[in-house]
Amino acid sequence: MKLMNAKGVRDFPPEEKIIRQKVVDTLRETFEEFGFNPLETPEIERFETLSSKYAGGDEILKEIFKLKDQGGRKLGLRYDLTIPLARFIGMNPNLKMPFKRYEIGRVYRDGPIKLGRYREFWQCDVDTVGSKSMLADAEILAIADRGFKKLGLKTVIKINNRKILDGILLSTGVKENKWIDAILSIDKLEKQGKNEVKKELEQKKIASTSKIFKLIQKKENNKKTLDNLKSFISNDIGKEGIAEMEELLKLLKSFKVSVDFDPSLARGLAYYTGPVYEVFLEKSEIKSSIAAGGRYDEMVGKFVGKEDAYPATGISFGLEVITDALSSKEKKKSVVDVYVIPIKTTSESIKIAQKLRNSGIKIDMDISGRGISKNLNYANALDIPYVIFVGEKELKQKKVKLRDMKTGKEQLLSINNLVKKLKK
Amino acid sequence: MKLMNAKGVRDFPPEEKIIRQKVVDTLRETFEEFGFNPLETPEIERFETLSSKYAGGDEILKEIFKLKDQGGRKLGLRYDLTIPLARFIGMNPNLKMPFKRYEIGRVYRDGPIKLGRYREFWQCDVDTVGSKSMLADAEILAIADRGFKKLGLKTVIKINNRKILDGILLSTGVKENKWIDAILSIDKLEKQGKNEVKKELEQKKIASTSKIFKLIQKKENNKKTLDNLKSFISNDIGKEGIAEMEELLKLLKSFKVSVDFDPSLARGLAYYTGPVYEVFLEKSEIKSSIAAGGRYDEMVGKFVGKEDAYPATGISFGLEVITDALSSKEKKKSVVDVYVIPIKTTSESIKIAQKLRNSGIKIDMDISGRGISKNLNYANALDIPYVIFVGEKELKQKKVKLRDMKTGKEQLLSINNLVKKLKK
């Protein structure tokens, strides 16, 4: 038997998993600081749920991993965390609203494999269900801002509003039944460029493209972009979108979060109804968004069968791409703080290791009875920062010898002083 | 469409997920304090891997969730974390040994549903690969002891050694080709009682049952149990098992871990080769083990095709049963520390909430503009311990009003004093 992974899925050895966990822990902490509670939904859903017409749509339907249980029931692996959220809400009508939850977990898409595209990946989602307030959107953006700051990543948060896009299209004479088609084409602007999008719009029989491009163009700053739109858009939907944008920008000022209003930002999902947002890295090789979301006031209600009952907004963080952005500089091979080398002192070394653990220090210890140089090689290979030697000579003085693996410096220390030094 | 879960899988609402996360976080912390690093393997494996003859065996084979990708490849959902570990080791021959890893994740079994048996559940596994030393086993048991102490659970750790069982069977005249059959019957002693096991052993044509029962009986303490066995067992395999047990007990003394040597403990998996262990709750309704494992020196090597290359030992913690043991006393409905109620002070309230978050305090805030009594009801329903009111009157004094939701007591405090009080 040849040992190999299934196609499109991966192992994460410690040096990669450590950084993935750091990202997940940081996001979790941020979500909780904003009062979001954890929810866990299963990875297996009924196929009927995943393929509901209000769910992910045809493109995603093709990519569902299908399975059956022994009872012959049709099942599938979830492809996002939003459909399970909608199902959970429908099954729990007595939930207190607004329901603010986060979920971090794996999702699956049986699609083509490319660089950076896998069949099993993690999403970190945070959503507020049951509030139409722009304050809910402002919180989501403040989470993105805070989460990335904690991770040490410099980002640009782009925002727009689907109602503004609708207003632009209405004001340029595009018929309502073509709005979503047009918006899904505009979504490709960043990737495919103006000419390609123009061609696509014309194929879709949307004429006034140059007028559209003029309106979705960004001006020098958020205020000027808004002023420009205000002078052209007089329809209700567009004005509503502009008012939401003004309120959102005002709230974000209180949160001290800077955003970049970009009327060309569209987002590639049909279900968005209000603010939409995408987060990009500043000056990075990584050009795709590292978190994205928006307001979807109708999706959950339609899914659940109670129209308008569940306005919602949320964002999804892409664990893989965030980890890629961090890993070049922050890769660690081991969580271990100190490696203990007993020199014929197993029992005493165990006791010392246990004492250090009681101070929360992460301790590995030679269990193989190797010689000193092999042990040092091992600690080196795993990038463990400190080694302590526990010999009988040292024990007589109630001390151990600490070696800083970077500098090679050694120091004789009591256990208490060792703890003090390591906890600094 | 009726909204429902797939059969045998569950949602975990916040009040259940919070406690599940607490268990996972505590175990993770403990694993890392012992120098184990995280590994993540995929939940989808090639069917060929899962059904290898050195893997879980026939019983489990029936319960694999099978699926195919669009390329028609045969796949399955993993049913444990040990096979993925063995595959990972086989695919990474340059790993530094001993390889100490933990993995926490979901596994799947498409079996019958009963109380406490689901088709999707979590395992928390910690294993050392590449060491024959009893010190590796002692570490695993010290982790179990420490992890459960941190969780506030009183436990009994039972240990035995497969070589001792082999020695007992050899000394009572059972032929070697019947040993594993006999051991798998003895494993049922606790659940089915002596008479049933006796019957089963006789059906398997194992005669000397009364002699076996005499030997696997526990005496008053570990030393007497060992002495009893020593006086009866003179074969090499049994003597080796006894020597390992003596060494392990000595090491555990250095770790200050108490265990209960029980020669009837067998564990229901064929692949164990040395020490085996199960952890039970002291004085609890829950009678099944809450963590279990043992030494399996041959399995990985056979799986990988390098016999004897990968001695290993490890334990698996059952997240579901541990959570059940804790949840009656520790259920929390929300992670939130403080709920902020703005009284026409949205912008100022946001700023205060952000300041509190900067101190790591978990803050929820009214985003719906509800009245005070509705807001208090909401905070009450979610068991949030504190509420603060932010009114213009308070703001003029640069203070906020803190309400202790348990006692109903209210207090006017500056933000700095509020942080001090909450961080206590």
Our CA angle for A276, A282, A283, nearest 5°, is 140
Task: Provide the number of CB pairs (under 8 Å) joining chain A to chain B.
Answer: 254
How far is residue B291's CA from residue B160's CA, in Å, rounded to a whole number? 15
Residues of B in Cβ contact (< 8 Å) with A305: 1
pLDDT class of A56 with cuts at 50, 70, 90: confident
pLDDT class of B24 with cuts at 50, 70, 90: very high
CB contact under 8 A, B120 and A43: yes
pLDDT class of A53 with cuts at 50, 70, 90: confident
pLDDT class of B55 with cuts at 50, 70, 90: confident
The residue-averaged pLDDT of B282-311 equals: 93
Instruction: List, for residues A118-140, the tens digit of each pLDDT value.
Output: 999 999 999 999 999 999 999 99
pLDDT class of B339 with cuts at 50, 70, 90: very high
pLDDT class of A191 with cuts at 50, 70, 90: confident
Q: How far is A194 from chain B (nearest CA, A)?
A: 34
Our CA angle for A260, A153, A32, nearest 5°, is 90
CB contact under 8 A, B334 and A35: yes
Superfamily in which the A338-423 domain is placed by CATH: Anticodon-binding domain (3.40.50.800)
Q: Which structure tokens are listed for B167?
A: 């020695």
Instruction: List, for residues A296-329, the tens digit of each pLDDT value.
Output: 999 999 999 998 999 999 999 999 999 999 976 6
How far is residue A332's CA from residue A327's CA, in Å, rounded to a whole number? 9
Interface predicted TM-score (ipTM): 0.94
Question: Which of B18, B21, B69 best tests the A interface by mutation, with the highest count of A CBs <10 A?
Answer: B69
Residue B328 has pLDDT above 80, yes or no: no
CB contact under 8 A, B12 and A40: yes
Q: Which residue of B has its CA nearest to A302?
A: B1
Question: Which of B32, B351, B356 best tests the A interface by mutation, with the highest count of A CBs <10 A?
Answer: B32
CB contact under 8 A, A361 and B52: no
pLDDT of residue B209: 87
Residues of B in Cβ contact (< 8 Å) with A40: 11-12, 16-17, 20
CB contact under 8 A, A32 and B362: yes
Question: In chain B, pLDDT over 70 holds for what percent of residues?
Answer: 100
Instruction: List, for residues B387-398, the tens digit of each pLDDT value.
Output: 999 999 999 999
Residue B331 has pLDDT above 90, yes or no: no
Residue B342 has pLDDT above 80, yes or no: yes
Residue B185 has pLDDT above 80, yes or no: yes
Residues of A in Cβ contact (< 8 Å) with B52: 1
pLDDT of residue B424: 77
pLDDT class of B44 with cuts at 50, 70, 90: very high
Question: In chain A, pLDDT over 70 holds for what percent of residues?
Answer: 100
pLDDT class of A207 with cuts at 50, 70, 90: confident
pLDDT of residue A209: 87
Residue ranges covered by each domain of chain B: 14-330, 338-423
How far is residue B309's CA from residue B340's CA, in Å, rounded to a whole number? 60
Q: How far is B298 from chain A (nearest CA, A)?
A: 17
H-only helix segments in B255-368: 299-304, 319-330, 346-358
Instruction: List, for residues B62-119, the tens digit of each pLDDT value.
Output: 999 999 999 999 999 999 999 999 999 999 999 999 999 999 999 999 999 887 789 9
The residue-averaged pLDDT of A163-186 equals: 93
**Sign of the four-CA dihedral B161, B167, B169, B172:** negative
Strands B363-365, B338-342: pairing is: parallel
Residue A57 has pLDDT above 80, yes or no: no
pLDDT of residue A380: 95
Residues of B in Cβ contact (< 8 Å) with A49: 1, 3
The residue-averaged pLDDT of B303-322 equals: 94
- Could you say which residues from 29 to 68 on chain A have a Cβ atom under 8 Å away from some Cβ of chain B? 32-35, 37-46, 48-49, 52, 65-67
B135 in A contact zone (CB under 8 Å)? yes
CB contact under 8 A, A34 and B100: no
> Residue A255: which of B3, B10, B350 has the nearest Cβ?
B350
Question: Which of B367, B386, B388, B419 best tests the A interface by mutation, with the highest count of A CBs <10 A?
Answer: B367
The residue-averaged pLDDT of B141-147 equals: 98
The residue-averaged pLDDT of B173-201 equals: 90
pLDDT of residue B53: 84
> Residue A367: which of B69, B135, B254 has the nearest Cβ?
B135
Superfamily in which the A14-330 domain is placed by CATH: Bira Bifunctional Protein; Domain 2 (3.30.930.10)
- Could you say which residues from 12 to 31 on chain A have a Cβ atom under 8 Å away from some Cβ of chain B? 12-14, 16-18, 20-21
